[in-house]
Amino acid sequence: MTIVAISGMSCQHCVASTKKALEGISGISNVTVDLEKKQASYDGDVDITVVKDAITKIGFEVIE
């Protein structure tokens, strides 16, 4: 399982958008997004730049 920290999420709509964006990436499964912890987790071996691009496109940022 991979965990990424995300800044900019503030509501359940943000959570839903993030989850949908990550689920749209081929090779990713079991996506969970936690608003309180401001992070997302997923299974799959996908280049982190693909994940960052998907999250950036919806208006959030991956924190390293």
The domain of 56 spans 2-63
Mean pLDDT per block of 10 residues along the chain (64 residues) reads 96 97 96 97 94 97 91
Report the number of distinct structural domains present in the chain.
1
How far does CA 22 lie from the centroid of its chain?
5
**CATH code of the domain covering residue 14:** 3.30.70.100
pLDDT of residue 52: 96
How far is residue 11 from each of residues 16, 25, 44, 47, measured CA to CA in Å? 9, 22, 26, 27
